[in-house]
Amino acid sequence: MAPRNDARGPADAAHDLLWARDVRDSVRCAGVLLALTLLLDWGTDRLSLGRGVLWVASALLLFVVLCPARVRAGED
């Protein structure tokens, strides 16, 4: 079967319109986690390089888990 070749081509594809908002929300959540953990450690005078790296790594892990995949559906 030959592919359709009409003017509606790309308009038939489905796009996730909320993807950009979901990425921003993921960045916000990871940023809030990082800020709170760093402030908590700094406020209790327990902040060190090792603990700072741990908090940055946990914030990055949260971002990776929450970041949505970019999905498109349609012909071709």
Model-level pTM greater than 0.85?
no
Task: Quote the radius of gyration of the chain (alpha carbons, Å).
Answer: 21
Q: Helices marked H in the chain — which ranges?
A: 19-43, 49-66
What are 51's two structure tokens? 């603990």
* Bridge partners, residue 15, by sequence: 72
* 15 has pLDDT over 60: yes
- State how far the Cα of 70 lies from the Cα of 23, in Å rounded to an integer: 10
What are 64's two structure tokens? 């990776």
**In which band, very low, low, confident or very high, does the pLDDT at 72 lie, cut at 50, 70 and 90?**
confident
Distance of CA 41 to the CA centre of its chain: 25
